[in-house]
Amino acid sequence: MSQIQQPELIDLQNASFEDLVREMLTRLGEDPSREGLLDTPKRVMKSLEFLTHGYTKQLSDVLNGALFTVDYDEMVIVKDIEMFSMCEHHMLPFFGKVHIAYIPKGKVIGLSKLARLVDVFARRLQVQERLTTQIAEAIQDTIHPAGVGVVVEARHLCMMMRGVEKQHSSAVTSAMLGVFGKQETREEFLSLLRRQAPNGI
């Protein structure tokens, strides 16, 4: 009786990233040597390096001194910051928008830097709840405002493509620090998020 041939095991200690992708393709039932897949291991490696480049970023380098002294103590809001991240449970994307508000106490962050700050934490394997908290705490620790509010609205491909397969579901998470823990400040922030700007601005 013929014996069933076992697949050759790769040496995990010495395997390259590309070797591991080839192994994954094989285990999925594919032939990594066919034309359409020849360069896939390299492409997957580069893609994942880009999608998780937040691990290589330092917050201080991203902000790059863009902290400014101001005589302003009203709420600063930046809405609709596009966000793309990767679910750490299934390694599938989730994406959406981040809304940030804070009340400065002498310092503000350059507006474009807030978007870069979001990417520092979003471009990692994440869960939405932790991402929301990390963004809020980073702002709190950087400029020590009176308070910070962060709301994240996202759609998860792990719900849309697999599992319950609900294509129109979204998740909303929030982190409210400092004075944003007070009901009136929280309500002001949330009401301003709901308000439509005139002329589409």
Active site residues: 87-90, 128, 156, 158
Buried b (16+ CB within 10 A) or exposed e, 64-84: eeeeeeeeeeebbebeebebe
User: Does pTM top 0.85 for this prediction?
Assistant: yes
Q: What's the pLDDT score for residue 105?
A: 96
**Below-50 pLDDT ranges, the chain:** 1-2, 4-6, 201
Whether residue 46 sits in one domain with residue 129 = no
Residue range(s) defining the domain that contains residue 114: 61-200
Structural contact between residues 41 and 22, judged by C-beta atoms closer than 8 angstroms: yes
134 and 76 within one domain = yes
Q: What is the dihedral of CA 80, 86, 89, 94, to 10 degrees?
A: 40
In a shared domain, residues 173 and 129: yes
Query: What's the 3-state SS for 63-132?
Result: HCCCEEECCCCCCEEEEEEEEEEEECCCCCEEEEEEEEEEECCCEEECHHHHHHHHHHHHCCEECHHHHH
Residues 40, 109, single domain; the answer is no
How confident is the model over 15-52, as pLDDT tens digits?
999 999 999 999 999 999 999 999 999 999 999 999 99
Residue 103 bridge partners (DSSP): 147
Residue in the structure block whose two tokens are 């299934």: 90
Q: How many domains does the chain have?
A: 2
